[in-house]
Chain A
Amino acid sequence: MKALGSSGWKGPVKFRMPTAENLVPIRLDIQSEGQRYKDAFTWNPSDPDNEVVVFAKRTVKDLKLPSAFITQIAQSIQSQLSDFRAFEGQDMYTGEKIIPIKLDLRVNHTLIKDQFLWDLNNFESDPEEFARTLCKDLGVEDPEVGPAVAFAIREQLYEIAIQSVASARESRLSKKGRRGSDHGSASKASGLSMDLVKLFSFKSSVVRKRKDLDVYEPVVDLLTSEEVDALEAREERHAR
């Protein structure tokens, strides 16, 4: 652990989701002909492009949406995928980042609040596995919660990956040919990540401080229908 400081520099990695499966979170929010379709799911960018249309058609058929939605859904998915692919050629520095991931979502009648630490450097991490285990352990009955949790985790990881690409580009432009440790500190300056050295030095302990205990505990709430309606109304007001 002592050698952490010096071994902190990892070479730039080609952009990808820092998870075992390189899956992209896709969010859809389409309004047309008076109907609104909101959805969120994960997509594998290495699947052939015709899958997008197939998926759009299936979804429209299953949900009995007007067929105008097919092209809109397909376009939205395609544009998000091409955004992702635009990042793919570029470098990102992940450094030694351990980031806190926050969950605060409502799926049907279930409300989940949670916060936990995630190792950005672990390219074998699996948000899907985590989501499944979380739902199983917390006894969540609604099966739609799992995908929503996995999606939320992926979205946050995606955001951070994008940020690290942007910061890598900036630091490359501003300081040409500087060593990686500077990059590491530049990204740490974003404030999100935790300083591993501080965390695991022999001065502090690994046990969490008492004031953080509540924050890092998962909370599952089952809402009644009225509460759900109230929350939805509030969300819509916020959206406008």
Chain B
Amino acid sequence: MAAKAPDSGGSGEILPITPSLSETTSGVTAASQSTQPPSSSSDVDTVYVPSYSRWFSWTDIDDCEVRSLPEFFNSKSSSKNPKFYIYLRNSIIKQYRDDHPRKISFTDVRRTLVSDVVSIRRVFDFLEYWGLINHSSSSSAKPLKWDEKSAGDASSEPPTTVKETAKRICNGCKSICSVACFVCDKYELTLCARCYVRGNYRVGINSTEFKRVELSEESKKVWSEKETLQLMEAVMHYGDDWKKVATHVTGRTEKDCVSQFVKLPFGEQFVKESDSEDSLEAFDKIKGSADLESGGSDKEGSSPNKRMRLTPLADASNPIMAQAAFLSALAGTKVAEAAARAAVTALSDVDYEAEKNATGDPHRQDANANSGGDITNSERAWADAKSLIQKEEQEVEGAIKEIVEVEMKKIRDRIVHFEKLDLEMERSRKQLEDMKNLLFTDQLNIFFHTRKARKSEDRVDC
């Protein structure tokens, strides 16, 4: 099983974490009885392993081990092989469990293992990180690296950077305001973001009279163990109802709960299947804003299961546009504008690619036109410019082709010419040879003749 930080058990159980966590605050014990492990008196005997390390087995090596400690598995050296890794890992864990619950230190381990110390340290750190050794309440809240960032995170990011001071109560819905408030000084009203968007204020007031006020949070950034436990229990029971979750977790607002929940390493596991499509749409921000316009029916299918289905403040009965408006109100105008622009840019990138293959699809351009109002014109111009560039490129390519052909022809002609010259040369050389031969034969003849002549002269003389 591929072990990302949590593996989805589906049942949403926490494997027995160390007993100290099961001591919850009194208000919660009743609700949590069913999910907590039976309060154990056998502290010393049982070793607890966090659920995200369920993959561990004495004889096997899991993928996350291969990923985190590649040095043992890349066969670069003959002695750093998986068997050696298993020896190190099992010895460390055995040693820890022999002395449990005392924590084992790196020095204890490296003194007893036959290996170079840095390899031991890496395995030791890895095991400690995954809670297989030295696991205790203080270390279970450590966030693990997350492979995927969901699109939902992007939208909840702006809120997490905002802090809150005093808790403000909204005049409209009488709920605690988080993140941002809208304050109307004229009538001394304070509205939370949702009420502002919904127009939940008195008749005579214009929406422009409200001023957006960021709230800053002074409460602790660091979540204690107790709070994390409360949060997890609450989420398991109340699911997406973050109001109840916030009330369950003492001293934390809904937004805090959500952001902390997102940061938890095994957050995904405990999210119940959300039935409301709208909550999904709320956090498929980028795809959502465009897809919604072009056809909301395929929305459900497009959002993959793995995405975080966060519904911190979403109400299932809200219409889609109010949701988007609410989000933009939360995030602030500048952020929302930037986000929408980025979304449209990304979309038109994708669309332009498709357009190159299937030319001029008006439907897509309509989709482009629909998403984001005043940005479309510049987008169209930009698309036109791109097509012009394409045409020019093609022309340039054609021109280059022609040039190359002409050059080739020139070269061919020259070769032909040289061949002719070569032939000529051969011919003249042959002629020369023939003449030489003739000359030679002539010379021979003359020589013989002169010899004959001289001989006959001699004969005549004597």
User: Which of A's residues lie within 8 Å of B, judged by CB?
Assistant: 20-21, 23, 41-44, 47, 51, 54-55, 58-59, 61-63, 124, 126, 128-129, 131-132, 143-144, 146-147, 149-150
Contact = CB atoms under 8 A, between A and B. Distances in A.
Interface residues of B, number: 22
B112 interface: yes
B293 to A, nearest CB: 53
20 contacts: A20-B78, A21-B79, A23-B116, A41-B117, A42-B115, A42-B116, A43-B116, A51-B121, A55-B117, A55-B121, A58-B105, A59-B106, A61-B105, A62-B106, A62-B107, A131-B114, A143-B111, A144-B111, A147-B110, A150-B114
B77 A146 contact: no
B62 to A, nearest CB: 24
Contacts of B113: 143, 146-147
A47 to B, nearest CB: 5
Given A43-B118, A44-B119, A55-B121, A147 B78 contact: no
B349 interface: no
Nearest to A133: B114
Contacts of B79: 20-21, 126, 128-129
Nearest to B113: A147
Given A20-B78, A44-B119, A62 B105 contact: yes
Contacts of A147: 110-115
Among B77, B80, B107, B112, the one with the most A-chain Cβ atoms within 10 Å of its Cβ is B107
Q: Nearest 9 pairs between A and B by C-beta?
A: A143-B112, A62-B107, A62-B105, A146-B114, A44-B116, A42-B116, A47-B118, A128-B114, A23-B116
A142 to B, nearest CB: 8
Contacts of A150: 114
A129 B79 CA distance: 8
Contacts of B114: 128, 131-132, 146-147, 149-150
A55 B117 CA distance: 8
Contacts of A51: 118, 121
Interface string B203-234: 00000000000000000000000000000000
B108 interface: yes
A141 to B, nearest CB: 11
Interface string B98-129: 00000001111011111111110100000000
A20 B115 CA distance: 12
B356 to A, nearest CB: 47
Contacts of A144: 111-112
A59 B114 CA distance: 17
Contacts of B108: 62
A36 to B, nearest CB: 16
A131 B84 CA distance: 13
Main DSSP-derived SS at the A contact region:
helix
A128 B105 contact: no
A21 to B, nearest CB: 5
A165 to B, nearest CB: 22
A61 B107 CA distance: 9
Contacts of A131: 114
A124 B119 CA distance: 19
B78 A41 contact: no
Contacts of A54: 121
Interface string B67-99: 000000000011110000001000100010000
A147 B107 CA distance: 13
Given A21-B80, A126-B79, A41 B110 contact: yes
Nearest to B124: A58
A156 to B, nearest CB: 16
Given A147-B113, A150-B114, 16 more contacts: A20-B79, A21-B79, A42-B117, A44-B119, A54-B121, A55-B121, A58-B105, A58-B106, A58-B107, A61-B105, A124-B78, A143-B95, A143-B111, A143-B112, A143-B113, A144-B112
A131 B112 CA distance: 12
Nearest to A19: B79
Contacts of B95: 143
Contacts of A146: 112-114
A47 B77 CA distance: 14
A43 B110 CA distance: 11
Nearest to A54: B121
Among B108, B114, B117, the one with the most A-chain Cβ atoms within 10 Å of its Cβ is B114
Nearest to A23: B116
A131 B116 CA distance: 13
Nearest to A147: B114
A149 B80 CA distance: 19
A130 B110 CA distance: 18
A61 B119 CA distance: 19
A55 B110 CA distance: 11
Contacts of B78: 20, 124, 126
Contacts of A62: 105-108
Given A21-B77, A144-B112, A63 B117 contact: no
B121 A58 contact: yes
B122 to A, nearest CB: 9
Among B77, B107, B115, B116, the one with the most A-chain Cβ atoms within 10 Å of its Cβ is B116
B308 to A, nearest CB: 35
Contacts of B115: 42, 128, 147
A67 to B, nearest CB: 15
A87 B293 CA distance: 71
A44 to B, nearest CB: 4
Given A20-B79, A126-B79, A59 B107 contact: yes
A164 to B, nearest CB: 23
B117 A43 contact: yes
Nearest to A151: B114
Nearest to A130: B114
A23 B80 CA distance: 12
A27 to B, nearest CB: 13
B116 A21 contact: yes
Interface string B429-452: 000000000000000000000000
B223 to A, nearest CB: 26
Contacts of A129: 79
A233 to B, nearest CB: 23
Nearest to B117: A41
Among A143, A144, A146, the one with the most B-chain Cβ atoms within 10 Å of its Cβ is A143
Nearest to A21: B79
A135 to B, nearest CB: 8
A88 to B, nearest CB: 17
